[in-house]
Structure 1
Amino acid sequence: MTTAKDTTKAPAYGTAKDTAARRIRAAGDQLVALSHRIHAHPELAFEEHLASRWVADALDDAGFEVQHGCYGLPTAVSATIGTGPAHIAICAEYDALPEIGHACGHNIIAAAAVGAGLGLAPLADELGLTVRVLGTPAEEGGGGKILMLEQGAFDGLHAAMMVHPAATESAAMPGLAVTQFDVTYRGKPAHAGAYPELGVNAADAMTLAQVGIGLLRQQTATDDRISGISTEAGSAANIIPDVSRGRWIVRTGSLDTLQPLARRVHRCFEAGALATGCELTTSPVSPDYADLRPDQDMLTRWVANATTLGRSFPHVPNGIAGASTDMGNVSHVVPTIHPMLGLDCYPAVNHQPEFTAACITPTADRAVLDGAIAMAWTAIDTAGDAVGDTTGAATGDSPNAGP
């Protein structure tokens, strides 16, 4: 591989990898402590004030030029080091889930991203790298990366990467495109025993919509997913409910098929309104997430590097599938990877309390260091190719950049 720098002065890639790994392992206690601290203080989307500050401080201490509260988001972080022509971003997530905390392991993601940054920091200029660690809030439904993408956070990049814990190891998550929206029915209250005929039942409207969706699922594609919850359905059994609310998610294989499926789901809600006489309103929760398109060359490098660390990638029938990530939108604009780090905890899986507990075990702590080292090594491998083809840099003006 060639670089824009004088290769007689650049370190051998093997030596650079050794240096990165030593630096990450030397910071191992610090990185594991960061993972556990974030885990112990779960913060929801756009409220990750502690976690984002801890990530920013760790990178500032390592010599990065750090911005905290950037791209219009108070809990976004951008930390840069190096001035080389190959621009590579490493993404940190740190938001938690309601009630069950870090049941998707974003504490591991954040610590591994910081670790990769620490490993690359002393090598960036010698290898022709500019390293950007991005703290990206609100992956769990808020679309933080999409908002940052629209504000230019990913402009000029040749590659972007992150790691994500799961029950089992996987080189690439089959991320689906997703849209998420709130539903509200408004009817008319009445005494449920004395004057039920004077009421317009909003809870019935939601029930009818759910029946329609249940029947619709039989006519959808294999990778389509429709899920939702009722968040309000009345206040007392003897009052006809005049308001019902819910939140619904529609997933499918690509952005091209997302809106046609979403329209079919919306018609089920319209049917509930028509049948009961209720008024229906819907509103999006976040920008639409795009399907994840991993870069195959980077993925090959990742697998080779992770295998060197002792991780393996067998065919696992219980691997994570049907999930979505706002990293998908990034992958439509910048060559991207999003490998899954197995915690060997199946049947405890993402978004379960048991997975929350699995994310601070010794296996999870090893995943922090392995993820950091493998990302640093993959960035080193990618550097030469990136500067050899500057046309691959993102401009942020792709038609697929946003929802």
Structure 2
Amino acid sequence: MTFPLLPAEISARCERSLDRYRDRLTELSHAIHAHPEIAFAEHDAVRRCAEVLAGEGFRVETGVAGLDTAFRAEYGEGELVVVFCAEYDALPELGHACGHNMIAAIGVGAGLLLRDVADELGITVRVLGTPAEESGGGKLVLLGAGVFADAGLCLMAHPAPAENCAPRSLAVLDLKVRYTGRASHAAVAPHAGVNAADALTVAQVAIGLARQHFRPKQMVHGIVTHGGDSPNVIPARTEALFYLRAADLESLAELEKRVVACLQAGATATGCTADIRPDTPAYAELRHDEWLVAAYRTAAEVLGRPLHSPEAERDMPTGSTDMGNVSRVVPSIHPVLAVDCGDAVNHQPEFAAACVSASADRAVGDGALALAWAAAAAAADPVQRARLLNGVRDRA
């Protein structure tokens, strides 16, 4: 295979590196899958990723930005810093039903493939271990600590049922509400109680009615995390967690005002007090770098990935990611790689099983090579290299 945006020898060297590391990347993906760890607790995954990278000459630092399960691994001394993100957190109860075991292996793999051409391309290759994408926003912590400040470009890839070179993720905010009322015997003295469960019911009804007036791509979904303690006691405390999603941060802020009003209505109607606050910082929508997307699409075509047209990609459903916040600061891409999963979708047990299939293993190798090729092409192109370096200087 030949990637047309690179000199033939550099393209071939990346491909030969994949041949050398493919089995190790598959092993890494399967090992992380077999030991799922939720947000900010991904110690085994960090150890495994760090061991692979350190063994190949990367300078590895763990505990980055005060996060026990974040790491930074670097190779080379070039002016242009190429960042690959490795996610590895799992979902509670479902394990790796979003395929972050694959994301970690792809990020590590892309770093390894560029290692052999780093000096020739004049780049520093950086693999960042970014915890807590599912809940907690590890990348936001790293952004705030300046870990991305010198990054010229940032790349990662995610598995899903269908291929998408430039998925349009949604902005998202987690809102937690706690209602406080007054307990009383539900039969002997219900009139003496203030029912916090009723407050939550009123709020849910208000949100349900408000949905008719939501703008396109605005949505709300939530769960009750505490609904009371006993049927014969008027609940004095209830809690719920809602996810608010919208096309972008601006639309999300508008939706937040509407939902907060619905939550406050529950307290007003029942006489409870309401404590409403974000559970994690807001995730922004993805903003893909057009040139990097085009380079990645070319790489995916060379590899024979099952691509869709850009027009069809725009209509595909998608979720949310803290990579969106990175993409608003650093030129980035976050393509999606298809795995054979039948009728399953992300966040289902069947999708977790598919993320260690032969299809998933192929996607790990293809993703690592496509990201490496796209990043190398940007570094080798004088115009793009200058653009990316100027972007770093402009942010300084």
TM class, shorter-length = over 0.9
Cα–Cα, structure 1 residues 98 and 319, in superposed 2: closer, same or farther, change >3 Å?
A: farther
Cα–Cα, structure 1 residues 233 and 395, in superposed 2: closer, same or farther, change >3 Å?
A: farther
1:64 is matched with which residue? 58
Q: Which has the higher helix share?
A: 2
SS at match of 2:52: helix
1:338 is matched with which residue? 334
1:101 is matched with which residue? 95
Query: CA-to-partner distance for each residue in 1:291-339, whole Å, 9 max, x for gaps?
Result: 1000011000001001101103125689852411000001111110000
Establish whether residue 299 from structure 1 lines up as the match of residue 293 from structure 2: yes
Query: CA-to-partner distance for each residue in 1:82-114, whole Å, 9 max, x for gaps?
Result: 112221100000000110010100000000111
Establish whether residue 204 from structure 1 lines up as the match of residue 198 from structure 2: yes
Alpha-carbon distance, 1:237 to partner: 1.2
1:238 is matched with which residue? 232
Of residues 158, 161, 179 in structure 1, which corresponds to 2:155? Answer: 161
1:82 is matched with which residue? 76
User: Does the CA-based 8 Å contact 2:164-2:313 persist in structure 1?
Assistant: no
Of residues 46, 58, 68 in structure 2, which corresponds to 1:52? Answer: 46
Q: Aligned Cα RMSD in Å?
A: 1.5
SS at match of 2:368: helix
Of residues 335, 349, 353 in structure 1, which corresponds to 2:349? Answer: 353
Q: Which amino acid aligns with 2:192?
A: L
User: Does the CA-based 8 Å contact 2:137-2:283 persist in structure 1?
Assistant: yes
Mind listing any 5+ residue stretches in structure 1 that lack a counterpart? Answer: 1-11, 398-403
Alpha-carbon distance, 1:395 to partner: 6.2
Counterparts of 1:36 and 1:322 in 2: how far apart (Å)?
25
Counterparts of 1:387 and 1:238 in 2: how far apart (Å)?
68
Q: Which amino acid aligns with 2:123?
A: L
Counterparts of 1:367 and 1:325 in 2: how far apart (Å)?
20
Query: Equivalent pairs: percent with the same residue?
Result: 48
SS at match of 2:280: coil
2:111 is matched with which residue? 117
Q: Which amino acid aligns with 1:208?
A: V
Cα–Cα, structure 1 residues 394 and 68, in superposed 2: closer, same or farther, change >3 Å?
A: farther
Counterparts of 2:97 and 2:71 in 1: how far apart (Å)?
22
Alpha-carbon distance, 1:283 to partner: 2.4
Of residues 377, 385, 388 in structure 2, which corresponds to 1:381? Answer: 377
Counterparts of 2:293 and 2:342 in 1: how far apart (Å)?
24
Greater CA drift, 143-152 or 281-290: 281-290
Alpha-carbon distance, 1:130 to partner: 1.0
1:391 is matched with which residue? 390
Q: Which amino acid aligns with 1:393?
A: V
SS at match of 1:141: coil
Q: Which amino acid aligns with 2:391?
A: G
Mind listing any 5+ residue stretches in structure 2 that lack a counterpart? Answer: 1-5
Counterparts of 2:330 and 2:149 in 1: how far apart (Å)?
9
Q: Which amino acid aligns with 2:341?
A: C
Alpha-carbon distance, 1:227 to partner: 0.8
SS at match of 2:69: strand
Q: Which amino acid aligns with 2:36?
A: P
Alpha-carbon distance, 1:384 to partner: 2.7
Of residues 249, 254, 265 in structure 2, which corresponds to 1:255? Answer: 249
Alpha-carbon distance, 1:191 to partner: 1.1
Establish whether residue 283 from structure 1 lines up as the match of residue 277 from structure 2: yes
2:322 is matched with which residue? 326
Cα–Cα, structure 1 residues 228 and 396, in superposed 2: closer, same or farther, change >3 Å?
A: farther
SS at match of 2:245: strand
Counterparts of 1:317 and 1:328 in 2: how far apart (Å)?
17
Of residues 256, 262, 267 in structure 2, which corresponds to 1:273? Answer: 267
Of residues 6, 9, 16 in structure 1, which corresponds to 2:10? Answer: 16
Establish whether residue 366 from structure 1 lines up as the match of residue 367 from structure 2: no
Counterparts of 1:396 and 1:141 in 2: how far apart (Å)?
28
Q: Which amino acid aligns with 2:140?
A: I
TM-score (normalised: structure 1)? 0.93
User: Does the CA-based 8 Å contact 2:218-2:245 persist in structure 1?
Assistant: yes
TM-score (normalised: structure 2)? 0.94
Alpha-carbon distance, 1:42 to partner: 0.6
SS at match of 1:216: helix
